[in-house]
Amino acid sequence: MAIEPDQVMTKYNQLVSDINEDIDRIRNEYGKYPCPTDCFQCCNNTSTIPISEVEARDLKIALDSLPKEIRLRIREKALRTINVLEKKGFTLDSLVKDSGMDAIEFIKGQSFGQCPMLIGGVCSVYEHRPVICRVWGYPIDNGKELACCKKTFIGQRRDYNPVKYSLYWQKCKTLSEDLGVFKKTPCCYLVSQLIEEQ
């Protein structure tokens, strides 16, 4: 029996609520926010991160609500990244197949590696940001190891029950499959598709 898109998005919103509870738990144990308000270092190397269909539909809500000038700026940044990647030989298909890992190494530290939705050091889609953006900065279980931003929870990462990122990502994958989509899209390509040329 097919699941209606509205039902899927309701389940995604519940997932976001569960993620927020998990983050609140570890933040309360830690006693403060781990990231300084003026830090966006993690956004600097995320132009190729894979985004699931259910996350994409939520992102579209935020992107559609932005002023036209901001949407166009975001699209320009995404297209600039795509142009650089394709000149280097990367394609949408190759990025999807290897989860963008080779591209992540290529974009690291480069201006075109920055998330296209970061405008003036601020996330323009913050309330609708993807799952990895919601959990990064906290110790996370990524299914293979304990991962964490190098600037947070230094020397204390193993003292906390990690955020269940691998579980949350699997739920995004399942919800996306309920929508009939079985692959992820790299951020820059997704953004260029979600914001129509104007």
Are the CB atoms for 46 and 114 separated by under 8 Å? yes
Q: Decide: residue 106, CB within 10 A, 0-12 exposed, 13-18 middle, 19+ buried.
A: middle
Q: What is the pLDDT, as a whole number, of residue 127?
A: 96
Q: From the DSSP assignment, how many helices (H) and strands (E) are in the chain?
A: 8, 6
In this prediction, residue 189 has a pLDDT band, given cuts at 50, 70 and 90, of very high
- On the question of pLDDT at 198 being above 70, the answer is no
Mean pLDDT (whole number) for 106-120: 93
Q: Are strands 50-51 and 118-119 parallel, antiparallel or unpaired?
A: unpaired
Phi and psi at 44, nearest 5°, equal: -80, -15
Alpha carbon distance 49, 172 (integer Å): 14
Q: What is the pLDDT, as a whole number, of residue 67?
A: 96
> Within 13 Å and on the Cβ side, how many CA atoms surround 36?
6
Q: What is the pLDDT, as a whole number, of residue 4?
A: 93
Q: What is the pLDDT, as a whole number, of residue 99?
A: 59
Are the CB atoms for 102 and 117 separated by under 8 Å? no
Are the CB atoms for 165 and 142 separated by under 8 Å? yes
pLDDT per residue as tens digits for the range 2-57: 689 999 999 999 999 999 999 999 999 999 999 988 889 999 999 999 999 999 99
Please give the share of the chain, as a percent, with pLDDT higher than 70: 96
Alpha carbon distance 45, 109 (integer Å): 7
Q: What amino acid occupies position 81?
A: T
> Within 13 Å and on the Cβ side, how many CA atoms surround 189?
21
Q: What amino acid occupies position 144?
A: K
In this prediction, residue 95 has a pLDDT band, given cuts at 50, 70 and 90, of confident
pTM of the shown model: 0.93
